[in-house]
Chain A
Amino acid sequence: MSDPDVPKWFLDLAARNPGTRSLTESALRERFGEPSEIELEHGQVWRAGWGDMAVLLLVLELGEGEVRASPVTIDPPAEDENSFVLTSDLTAFPAPATVWTGLTRSVPQRVLDIVVAAWSMDVTTCLMNPASLEPGARLPVGVRRGRSIASDFDDRSMIRADLEDDVDQLGQMPGLPVESPVSPSVTLAAVLGEVDLAALCVALDLSQAAVMKLLRGTTALTASQAVVVARATGIPEEQILSAVRSMPRDLVQAAEHPRWRQVWIARAQRLGTDETQARLDGCQQALALAARQTGGSQTDWDARLRRALNGEEGAPR
Chain B
Amino acid sequence: MITAFDELQRLGHFGPECLRLVRGLMSEEMRRFPALEPAAGWQQADVEDLVQDFLEQRFAALTTSLLTTARNDESMGRLLRRSIRNWMIDRARKTGTGRVRQLLERVLGESAEFEQVPSGQPGAGQWRLAETPSEPWSGDPRDLIRTANAVQDVRIGRWSSTTRRAPVAARDSLIAVALAVLSAAGGSLEIAQLTHVFLARFPVALDWAVVPLEAGEGLLQADTRTPEEELIAGYDEIDSAGGAVEVVSMLSPQERALVPHLDDVAAAERVLDCRRSNAYQQMSRLREKLTQLAGTGDDRHAVILEVIHLCTPPSE
The answer on a CB contact under 8 Å between A155 and B93 is: yes
The answer on a CB contact under 8 Å between A169 and B20 is: no
The answer on a CB contact under 8 Å between B278 and A56 is: no
Give the residue of A56, A153, A162 whose beta carbon is less than 8 angstroms from that of B82.
Answer: A162
Q: Which residues of B are found within 8 Å of A77, using beta-carbon distances?
A: 61
Give the residue of B20, B83, B207 whose beta carbon is less than 8 angstroms from that of A5.
Answer: B20
Question: Measured between alpha carbons, how far is A17 from B59 in the docked complex, in Å?
Answer: 8
Min C-beta distance of A154 to chain B, whole Å = 8
The answer on a CB contact under 8 Å between A93 and B90 is: no
Give the residue of A5, A20, A162 whose beta carbon is less than 8 angstroms from that of B63.
Answer: A20
Within 8 A of B (CB), among A4-60: 5-7, 9-10, 13-14, 17-27, 45, 47, 49, 51-56
Q: Which residues of A are found within 8 Å of B52, using beta-carbon distances?
A: 7, 9-10
Q: Which residues of A are found within 8 Å of B315, using beta-carbon distances?
A: none
Closest partner residue, chain A, to B204 (CB atom): A153
Question: Measured between alpha carbons, how far is A104 from B74 in the docked complex, in Å?
Answer: 25
The answer on a CB contact under 8 Å between B20 and A24 is: no
The answer on a CB contact under 8 Å between A159 and B86 is: yes
Number of A-B contacts (CB under 8 A): 155
Give the residue of B72, B75, B203 whose beta carbon is less than 8 angstroms from that of A151.
Answer: B203
> Would you call A168 an interface residue if the criterion is a C-beta within 8 Å of the partner chain's C-beta atoms?
yes
The answer on a CB contact under 8 Å between B13 and A14 is: yes
> Would you call A238 an interface residue if the criterion is a C-beta within 8 Å of the partner chain's C-beta atoms?
no
Min C-beta distance of B234 to chain A, whole Å = 22
> Would you call A116 an interface residue if the criterion is a C-beta within 8 Å of the partner chain's C-beta atoms?
yes
Among B19, B87, B90, residue most surrounded by chain A Cβ atoms (within 10 Å): B19
> Would you call A182 an interface residue if the criterion is a C-beta within 8 Å of the partner chain's C-beta atoms?
no
Give the residue of B12, B20, B64, B79 whose beta carbon is less than 8 angstroms from that of A93.
Answer: B64
Closest partner residue, chain A, to B80 (CB atom): A75
Question: Measured between alpha carbons, how far is A298 from B289 in the docked complex, in Å?
Answer: 62
Min C-beta distance of A267 to chain B, whole Å = 16
Q: Which residues of B are found within 8 Å of A17, using beta-carbon distances?
A: 13, 59-60, 63
The answer on a CB contact under 8 Å between A19 and B75 is: no
Question: Measured between alpha carbons, how far is A55 from B68 in the docked complex, in Å?
Answer: 9
Number of interface residues of A (CB under 8 A): 58
Once A74-B64, A94-B60, A168-B276 are accepted as A-B contacts, the answer to whether A47 and B285 lie under 8 Å apart by CB is no
The answer on a CB contact under 8 Å between B61 and A95 is: yes
Among A5, A14, A20, A52, residue most surrounded by chain B Cβ atoms (within 10 Å): A20
The answer on a CB contact under 8 Å between B12 and A54 is: no
The answer on a CB contact under 8 Å between B61 and A75 is: yes
Q: Which residues of B are found within 8 Å of A152, using beta-carbon distances?
A: 203, 281, 284-285, 288
Question: Measured between alpha carbons, how far is A154 from B204 in the docked complex, in Å?
Answer: 10
Q: Which residues of B are found within 8 Å of A169, using beta-carbon distances?
A: 275
Q: Which residues of A are found within 8 Å of B224, using beta-carbon distances?
A: none
Q: Which residues of A are found within 8 Å of B275, using beta-carbon distances?
A: 165, 168-169
The answer on a CB contact under 8 Å between A23 and B12 is: yes
Give the residue of A10, A56, A116 whose beta carbon is less than 8 angstroms from that of B19.
Answer: A10
The answer on a CB contact under 8 Å between B200 and A27 is: no
Q: Which residues of A are found within 8 Å of B77, using beta-carbon distances?
A: 52
> Would you call B16 an interface residue if the criterion is a C-beta within 8 Å of the partner chain's C-beta atoms?
yes
The answer on a CB contact under 8 Å between A76 and B82 is: yes
> Would you call A173 an interface residue if the criterion is a C-beta within 8 Å of the partner chain's C-beta atoms?
no
The answer on a CB contact under 8 Å between A53 and B288 is: no
Give the residue of A21, A76, A113 whose beta carbon is less than 8 angstroms from that of B71.
Answer: A113
The answer on a CB contact under 8 Å between A157 and B82 is: no
Question: Measured between alpha carbons, how far is A9 from B68 in the docked complex, in Å?
Answer: 25
CB pairs A–B below 8 angstroms (20 shown): A6-B16, A10-B14, A10-B52, A10-B55, A17-B60, A17-B63, A19-B60, A20-B13, A23-B67, A23-B68, A24-B12, A49-B75, A54-B75, A75-B64, A76-B86, A76-B87, A154-B203, A155-B208, A162-B82, A164-B277
Sample of 4 further A-B pairs with CB below 8 A, known A75-B62, A113-B71, A155-B208: A25-B9, A95-B65, A117-B68, A153-B206
